[in-house]
């Protein structure tokens, strides 16, 4: 497999870079790679059982973990149904992260128009990709490994969800992990789990980012150890030997030969089967190869289809808000506020800074024999950069009203800018309009980029108090202070003076200018959660209880990002894996199998 990988990778990287140099793009090329990652246990349809103990819908960050863990019980029969296909080799190259949204491995969702945000995007609408592959969104994401602040989980539990406090969930974060990090507190990192975590490529620039933080009083921290809430760090990433390590590679491949685990890809679940009289779930209907099949579950169906699709499948089954289902002519089974609590972080791909030295990721660094060899043979070098993301920082702005040590802003340090890939991928992934890209970002050779991310449930700038947008402006000021520190001044760091079209009326770099810029190219950060909210039975906004069971329906659980009831201060991949680990233990315990 390694030799095949090297050969194919070399040929395709050469082809892609030829296109890249010619500023052409051949998206088809990205997806035609031979698929080496098909799971071994792709049972032919004639061999699937008519009945399983558990059926899991969706093999994403949570679903893969659940299938892996439940199939540890050898006399349980488990079926995992996934609409997408197995990964391909291209998806293993970390630097290629931003290209994955242009492959068939995404559902291609697009956000609705909102009058006060994303105004500088094509049709004023942000892209909202979700993965469809064995491994789900972990096949298209940026592999940044973050868990969230301990107070996120204390609040999660305090809101009527016993078993979800920091102490409770830390156990599962550690269980899944196989860490190989140089700067880490190993009291907080597992070393025997399935899921590998490594350091990413560290350029001279990220070293300067860390030094800049330290100059401003932010210590270098292991941000997943949750001892110190504020600080700077290089990124911990889900890589193994420098390649993307998806949840499917981590949790399914090692167990795929288990006779009690059947995995079907390209199997699209269209319906949850529920007896309307008893409100008991007895199976699912799915489509594969143009045919429709029904399969029964004697114990439970577990929805792990992601924040959008789990909510959709519930509503198609008549579980959702009464009026909405009536509008669509779907007979009501259970009136629950499914889909009502969608939350996401917001990110802003600016400001960028110019520097005097050629230090950031560049064509000459990438189109270079040493870099390609380092990646293919040693799993090192700039190709292991997570689409350019190298550094991370957590701060609390002066506007925060939180009494606890909870950051309200995450800083992401990006080595390069929107034009590093000639505008072929990153800005398209953000759906930024041509005029904005051409005027604001594309005509400098050596910009570096510090992105900021709002670590709170943003109201997408509808807040009458303007607390969310003002917090972002405060964080832009913080970033400017970072850029003025000695480590950045030594390389001539200065704010990119190009203005965002549509914001010319405002004095450049004034607070109003940044508010305008934020409304223009502020976008969701793809950490959507909350559509199937977990909460106590007396909370009318809840859909599942703390054991992930859907209220009023028997034999149905939901376990993925949709149950997370607020936008925790983390990128959500590891949180979904933690939900999967915990869900598996809850299920085992409920059925008397937890040893």
Cβ–Cβ < 8 Å for 69, 62: no
User: Can residue 96 be called a binding residue for ligand FAD (CB under 6 A)?
Assistant: no
> CB of 569 within 8 A of CB of 406?
yes
DSSP for 429-475, please give it.
Answer: HTTB-HHHIIIIITT-SSEEEEEEEE-S---TT--TT-HHHHHHHHH
The answer to whether 62 contacts ligand FAD (rule: CB under 6 A) is yes
105 binds ligand FAD (CB under 6 A): no
Q: How far is the CB of 83 from ligand FAD (least distance, A)?
A: 4
- Work out whether 84 is an interface residue with ligand FAD (CB under 6 A): yes
In the complex, minimum distance from the CB of residue 491 to ligand FAD, in angstroms, rounded to a whole number:
27
List 96, 574, 578, 584, residue binding ligand FAD (CB under 6 A): 574
Answer for which of 61, 224, 471, 542 binds ligand FAD (CB under 6 A) is 61
Q: What are phi and psi of 374, to 5 degrees?
A: -55, -40
**Does 132 interact with ligand FAD (rule: CB under 6 A)?**
yes
- Among 17, 268, 508, 551, indicate the residue that binds ligand FAD (CB under 6 A): 268
Determine the Cα–Cα distance for residues 14 and 398; give it in Å rounded to an integer: 49
Query: Residues within the annotated binding site for FAD?
Result: 137, 269
Cα distances (angstroms) measured from residue 562 to each of 160, 182, 212, 275: 17, 33, 37, 24
- 144 binding ligand FAD? (CB under 6 A): yes
CB of 356 to ligand FAD, least distance (A): 30
- Could you say which of 281, 305, 440, 454 contacts ligand FAD (CB under 6 A)? 305
Question: For ligand FAD, which is the closer residue by CB, 5 or 268?
Answer: 268
Question: 147 φ, ψ to 5°?
Answer: -110, -25
Q: Rule CB under 6 A: say whether 311 interacts with ligand FAD.
A: no
Examine residue 81 and tell whether it contacts ligand FAD (CB under 6 A): yes
Q: At what angle do helices 467-483 and 204-215 cross, to 10 degrees?
A: 110
User: Which of 132/352 has CB closer to ligand FAD?
Assistant: 132
129 in contact with ligand FAD (CB under 6 A)? yes
Q: Interface with ligand FAD by CB under 6 A: which range of 41-49, 112-120, 166-174, 303-311?
A: 303-311
Please, are residues 133 and 83 in contact by the beta-carbon 8 Å criterion?
no
Say how many residues touch ligand FAD, by CB under 6 A: 43
Q: Which residues contact 281 (CB under 8 A, 6 or more apart)?
A: 272, 273, 274, 297, 300, 301, 553, 554, 555, 556
Catalytic residue among 12, 189, 253, 527: 527
Question: Applying CB under 6 A, does 262 fall inside the site for ligand FAD?
Answer: no
Residue nearer to ligand FAD on the CB measure, 145 or 514: 145
Half-sphere exposure (CA, 13 Å, Cβ side) for 136? 30
Max Cα distance, the chain (Å): 72
Active site residue 115: no
Q: Which of 225, 238, 224, 256 is nearest to 137 (CA)?
A: 238
User: In the block, which residue shows the tokens 């859909």?
Assistant: 543
CA–CA distance, 33 with 87 (Å, rounded to integer): 10
Active site residue 565: no
Query: At which residue do the structure tokens 């917090």 appear?
Result: 471
The answer to whether 560 contacts ligand FAD (rule: CB under 6 A) is yes
* Binding region for ligand FAD (CB under 6 A) out of 75-83, 154-162, 219-227, 539-547: 75-83
- Token pair belonging to 252: 């399914």
449 binds ligand FAD (CB under 6 A): no
Active site residues: 527, 571
Residues engaged in binding ligand FAD (CB under 6 A): 57-63, 81-84, 101, 129-133, 136-138, 140-144, 146, 268-269, 304-307, 309, 313, 526-527, 560-561, 571-574, 576
């Amino acid at each position: 497999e390694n030799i095949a990988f090297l050969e194919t990778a070399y040929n395709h990287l050469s082809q892609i870079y030829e296109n890249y140099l010619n500023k052409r793009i051949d998206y088809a090329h990205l997806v035609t790679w031979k698929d080496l990652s098909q799971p071994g246990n792709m049972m032919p349809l004639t061999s699937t059982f008519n009945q399983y103990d558990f059926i899991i819908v969706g093999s994403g960050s949570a679903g893969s973990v659940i299938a892996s863990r439940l199939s540890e019980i050898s006399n349980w029969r488990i079926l995992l149904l996934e609409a997408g296909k197995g990964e391909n080799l291209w998806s293993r190259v970390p630097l290629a992260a931003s290209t994955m949204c242009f492959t068939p491995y995404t559902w291609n969702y697009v956000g609705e128009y909102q009058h006060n945000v994303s105004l500088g995007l094509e049709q004023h609408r942000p892209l909202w990709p979700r993965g469809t592959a064995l491994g789900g969104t972990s096949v298209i994401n940026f592999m940044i490994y973050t868990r969230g602040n301990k107070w996120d989980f204390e609040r999660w539990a305090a809101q009527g969800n016993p078993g979800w406090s920091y102490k409770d969930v830390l156990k599962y974060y550690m269980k899944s992990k196989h860490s190989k990090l140089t700067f880490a507190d190993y009291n907080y990192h597992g070393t025997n789990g399935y899921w590998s975590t490594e350091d990413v490529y560290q350029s001279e620039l990220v070293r300067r980012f860390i030094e800049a933080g330290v100059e401003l009083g932010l210590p270098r921290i292991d941000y997943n150890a949750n001892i110190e809430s504020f600080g700077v760090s290089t990124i911990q990433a889900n890589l193994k030997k420098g390649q993307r390590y998806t949840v499917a590679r981590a949790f399914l491949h090692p167990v795929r030969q288990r006779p009690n685990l059947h995995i079907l890809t390209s199997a699209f679940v269209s319906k949850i089967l529920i007896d309307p009289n008893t409100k008991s779930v007895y199976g699912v209907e799915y489509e594969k190869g143009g045919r429709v099949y029904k399969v029964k579950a004697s114990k439970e169906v577990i929805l792990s289809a992601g924040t959008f699709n789990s909510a959709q499948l519930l509503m198609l089954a008549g579980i959702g808000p009464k009026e909405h289902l009536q509008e669509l002519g779907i007979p009501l089974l259970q009136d629950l506020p499914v889909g009502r609590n969608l939350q996401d972080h917001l990110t802003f791909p600016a400001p960028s800074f110019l520097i005097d030295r050629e230090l950031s990721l560049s064509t000459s660094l990438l189109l270079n024999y040493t870099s390609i060899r380092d990646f293919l043979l040693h799993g090192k070098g700039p190709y292991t950069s997570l689409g350019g993301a190298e550094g991370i920082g957590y701060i609390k702005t002066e506007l925060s009203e939180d009494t606890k040590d909870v950051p309200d802003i995450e800083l992401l340090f990006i080595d390069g800018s929107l034009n590093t890939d000639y505008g072929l991928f990153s800005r398209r992934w953000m759906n930024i309009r041509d005029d904005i890209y051409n005027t604001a970002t594309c005509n400098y050779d050596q910009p570096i980029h510090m992105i900021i991310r709002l670590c709170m449930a943003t109201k997408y700038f509808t807040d009458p108090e303007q607390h969310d947008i003002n917090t972002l402006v405060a964080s832009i000021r913080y970033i400017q202070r970072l850029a003025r520190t000695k480590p950045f001044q030594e390389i001539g760091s200065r704010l990119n003076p190009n203005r965002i079209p549509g914001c010319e009326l405002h004095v450049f770099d004034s607070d109003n200018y940044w508010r305008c810029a934020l409304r223009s190219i502020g976008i969701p950060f793809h950490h959507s959660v909350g559509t199937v909210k977990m909460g106590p039975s007396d909370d009318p906004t809840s859909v599942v209880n703390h054991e992930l069971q859907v209220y009023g329906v028997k034999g149905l659980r939901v376990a993925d990002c949709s149950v997370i009831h607020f936008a925790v201060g983390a990128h959500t991949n590891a949180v979904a894996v933690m939900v999967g680990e915990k869900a598996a233990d809850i299920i085992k315990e409920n059925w008397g199998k937890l040893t």
